[in-house]
Structure 1
Amino acid sequence: MKKLLFLLVFLMVVSCAEKVVEEPDNLIPKEKMVDILHDLAILNATKTTVGAKLDESDIDVMEFLYKKYQIDSTQFSESDLYYASLPLEYQTIYTEVETRLDKWQKAMEEATEKKNDSIRKANEKRSDSIRSAKTPTDSIIPEP
């Protein structure tokens, strides 16, 4: 049993060491791939929340990304497949994407909190001014 386990571990180590997919000629650099996947995650989230607006505007998420990063679908597919064939590289790419998304989410939450605070303060100020307007300071009817 130990020999079988050793053989399986050995085969996995050896098979992971060889390249499954050859590096494409037009490989998207790792940093750019992180940028693309980050934007893709945000756009897909946007699509699930306001997809009708994107459809009305005739915006295709992938076409938008291809134009923005000056790549084509083949280049993106080949690069994604290549990085996926290297599990450690792919993991570092997605870890960086996740880190960026977390930072972006925190920034959005802080911006929303600031906006809510300013709205709350404006509402309090308005309520105070309404309250002071309703409180009579001078009586219209003179006292006898």
Structure 2
Amino acid sequence: MKNFLCLLLVIVMAVSCVEKIIEKPAGLIPQEKMTQLLYDLAILNAAKSTNSAILEVHFDSPTHFLFEQYNVDSVQFVQSDIYYASQPLVYEAIYKEVADRLVREKEKMEEARKIANDSLALKSRQVKDSIQD
């Protein structure tokens, strides 16, 4: 009897932990689209911190422009973000994908920069060699 009560208590606790805390919002942004949007927001924030004056010349509100591109509004974004945050495994997967994509993009940019620098160094040597001849 004691074992049965312990087992029942464990089952009740497990079921109560599975309860959804936040209901799915009506305009939930799909997970893949949310991942792409968060990636673009990360790029936008990096651009803002690098040189916000250039962004302001081309866009009144870069964030608003980005939301328009994804056909979402700020309320829909916040509600979706809160919903995904209430599901830690899903939220972690979204942000892991964003982080992985940022790392891959950074590696591509560094490789392109290295190739460009190598090309400039080669061209510089060729010019020096032609002047010396």
The answer to whether the superposition gives a TM-score over 0.5 is: yes
Return the alpha-carbon distance in structure 1 between the equivalents of residues 66 and 16 of structure 2.
34
User: Secondary structure of 2:117's match?
Assistant: helix
State the match for 1:30 in structure 2. Answer: 31
State the match for 1:112 in structure 2. Answer: 113
The runs of at least 4 aligned residues of structure 1 exceeding 4 Å deviation read 13-16
Contact 2:59 2:65 in 1 (8 A): no
State the match for 1:53 in structure 2. Answer: 54
- Listed one character per residue, the Cα deviations across residues 14-43 of structure 1 (whole Å, up to 9, x for unaligned) are 665222211001110000000000011011
Larger gyration radius, structure 1 or structure 2: 1
User: Secondary structure of 2:53's match?
Assistant: helix
State the match for 2:5 in structure 1. Answer: none
Q: Which amino acid aligns with 2:109?
A: M
Return the alpha-carbon distance in structure 1 between the equivalents of residues 79 and 48 of structure 2.
25
Q: TM-score of the superposition, structure 1-length normalised?
A: 0.78
Return the alpha-carbon distance in structure 2 between the equivalents of residues 118 and 86 of structure 1.
48
State the match for 2:98 in structure 1. Answer: 97
Return the alpha-carbon distance in structure 2 between the equivalents of residues 22 and 56 of structure 1.
40
State the match for 2:82 in structure 1. Answer: 81
Q: Which amino acid aligns with 2:43?
A: I
User: Secondary structure of 2:29's match?
Assistant: coil
The alignment yields a C-alpha RMSD, in angstroms, of 1.9
Deviation at 1:101, TM superposition (A): 0.5
State the match for 1:39 in structure 2. Answer: 40
Contact 1:40 1:61 in 2 (8 A): no
Identity %: 47
More helix by share: 2
User: Secondary structure of 1:21's match?
Assistant: coil
State the match for 1:140 in structure 2. Answer: none
State the match for 1:136 in structure 2. Answer: none
Return the alpha-carbon distance in structure 1 between the equivalents of residues 60 and 118 of structure 2.
34
Return the alpha-carbon distance in structure 2 between the equivalents of residues 129 and 68 of structure 1.
51
Q: Which amino acid aligns with 2:18?
A: A
Contact 2:56 2:62 in 1 (8 A): no
Tell me the number of residue pairs that the alignment of Structure 1 and Structure 2 aligns. Answer: 123
Task: Identify unmatched segments of 5+ residues in structure 1.
Answer: 1-9, 133-144
Return the alpha-carbon distance in structure 1 between the equivalents of residues 74 and 37 of structure 2.
12
- The verdict on how the C-alpha distance between 1:50 and 1:86 changes in structure 2, with shifts beyond 3 A counting, is same
Return the alpha-carbon distance in structure 2 between the equivalents of residues 15 and 62 of structure 1.
39
